[in-house]
Amino acid sequence: MRGDRVEIVIDAGGEVRTYEIVASRNGRRVEIETGRGVVTVSEVTRSGTPVRTARFMASRILALVEHPAADQNIARDVIEPRPIRSSG
């Protein structure tokens, strides 16, 4: 879904680098796969065709943070404070 994004923080031998993969168009999503010491993050279309792919050694990853696209109605309900009714 457009708005999905994944941040990857990597130990690059003396420095820390941050990479970001974003679902840039409607209908695309970001998928994460792990296997044999490699983490693959891909932006894919509805049919599953990869558009962009990034591969990282699992031993170098410090953090992998997924940010799913928020539904505007749900986000509004969570953020808006509810009035507190007092008894009396």
Average pLDDT, the chain: 81
For the stretch 1-43, pLDDT in tens is 666 889 999 998 889 999 999 888 888 889 999 999 999 999 9
Q: What is the pLDDT of residue 24?
A: 83
Flag whether pLDDT at 68 surpasses 70: yes
**How far apart are alpha carbons 60 and 44 in whole angstroms?**
24
Q: How many CB atoms lie within 10 A of CB 9?
A: 16
pTM beyond cutoff 0.75 = no
Q: What is the pLDDT of residue 63?
A: 93
Q: What is the pLDDT of residue 4?
A: 81
